[in-house]
Amino acid sequence: MRSLVVSSDPYAIVRRDWHQFFQTGHQLLSGDLRAIYPRTFESAYFWLYPPYCIYLTAPLGVLPEWWAYALCVVVEIVAVAGALALLRATLPARREDHITAAIVILASMPFNTAVVIGQISGVLSLILAASLWAWRRRHMLVAGLLLSLLFIKPNLAVFFVAASLLARQWRVLAGMGLGGATMVLASLPLGLERWHEYVGTSRDYVSVVQSSVPMWKQLTLYAFWRTATGGTSSDPAVVLPWLASVAVVLGVTMLAWWRRRDSEGALPRLFGLTVLLAVSANMYVYFYDGLVLLVPGVVWWVLRDEYRSRARHGLIGACLLGMFVVGYLRIFLTSEGINWVSAFIAIWLVCEATDLLATSPPATALR
């Protein structure tokens, strides 16, 4: 509120992430492609997406500023609604269960934040839900093509490449490869220089995350250890426990996939487990992208009868409650202290993986 009072432009506080998409659209249509990727990180918002994503901003470039914002908001809401509808089609359960899950998601901090700032977290959630829908119906190539869209954020997509390898789902991998190659080829008219600029920007931005980005904005184990120890990015007190904890969550996830990969009933939970890993083990995932956790969250709620341990299921519920409450406290009250949301996500992952490993029903082949 104070920034609104002191700013000469009362709308400046509303010009958030969506405004960078809006500017990129104008740069694309005007042919000013060299201006898209930042040379420095002095402003608050940057274009950090691969070159093939630049085309997606074209509709914003032909709209007036506030109509562009309205379009971003509408796309986000429609995408989340689509994700919830696809999850309902994928996970048969009582109508009341899906309604309850939807209410909690729509009341969550990641959803409301993503809508207000015009981020694309809802679109990522829709891609994940559609991919799970296709995979469970054994449309493996389609599932891979849909998952290739997740290369909008490659740091998330790579975890599904690994999961597909562990599951020996070669058609899923083929779909991801085909979709990814098509997007790369489609970006070539923008110039190979865009790829050079993208790689350089991505490399430099890692150091920005390590040195400048507040850790309360992140959802990763890296953020947890930075805030828990108070150390710097190169401090062994941060690096060693971070690497050890990443090894744990990576190990239990890989083991769960290896042991349960042929179980059709376990697929939604394994898929959700991969989403949790993509968030927890990453170098950086911002709080608004916590919206992608709606996939494992809905799975946890509507498939609760499939959990072997009520204690583990209940502990996951406690973690979700903690994430819901702490998320809003971080936004409205204080950003100081330990990043407990990151810890809750990691605990959720470990509980999910250990419960999957403890459950050994008759397998139904996925292939």
Can you give the pLDDT at residue 125?
98
Whether 11 has a pLDDT exceeding 80, the answer reads no
Positive or negative, the Cα torsion across 186, 189, 194, 199?
positive
Nearest to 293 by CA among 116, 161, 104, 145: 104
Residue 156's pLDDT is: 96
Residue with tokens 């960078």: 20
What does DSSP assign to residue 286? B
Query: Is the pLDDT assigned to residue 44 strictly greater than 80?
Result: no
* Residue 306: strand, helix, or coil: helix
- DSSP code, position 309: -
pLDDT at 365 exceeding the cut of 90: no
Residue 323 binned pLDDT confidence (cut-offs 50, 70, 90): very high
Q: Is 319 exposed, middle or buried (0-12, 13-18, 19+ CB in 10 A)?
A: buried
The number of angstroms, rounded, from the C-alpha of 213 to the middle of its chain's C-alpha atoms is 18
**Per-residue pLDDT band at 4 (split at 50, 70, 90):** very low
Q: CA-based angle 105:44:343, to the nearest 5? A: 45
Check residue 234 and give its pLDDT.
82
Q: Which pLDDT score is estimated for 42?
A: 66
Q: How far is CA 201 from the centre of its chain?
A: 20
Mean pLDDT of the chain: 91
180: pLDDT strictly greater than 60? yes
pLDDT of res. 247: 98
Residue 362 has pLDDT above 50, yes or no: no
Burial classification of residue 329, based on how many CB atoms lie within 10 Å of its CB (0-12 exposed, 13-18 middle, 19 or more buried): middle
What DSSP letter does each residue of 192-251 carry, written as one string? Answer: HHHHHHHHHHHHHHHHHHHHTS-GGGB-SHHHHHHHHH---TT-HHHHHHHHHHHHHHHH
Q: Which residues pair with 286 in a beta bridge?
A: 218
In this structure, the number of other CB atoms found within 10 A of the CB of residue 27 comes to: 18
Q: What is the pLDDT of residues 116-170, one digit of tens each?
A: 999 999 999 999 999 999 999 999 999 999 999 999 999 999 999 999 999 999 9
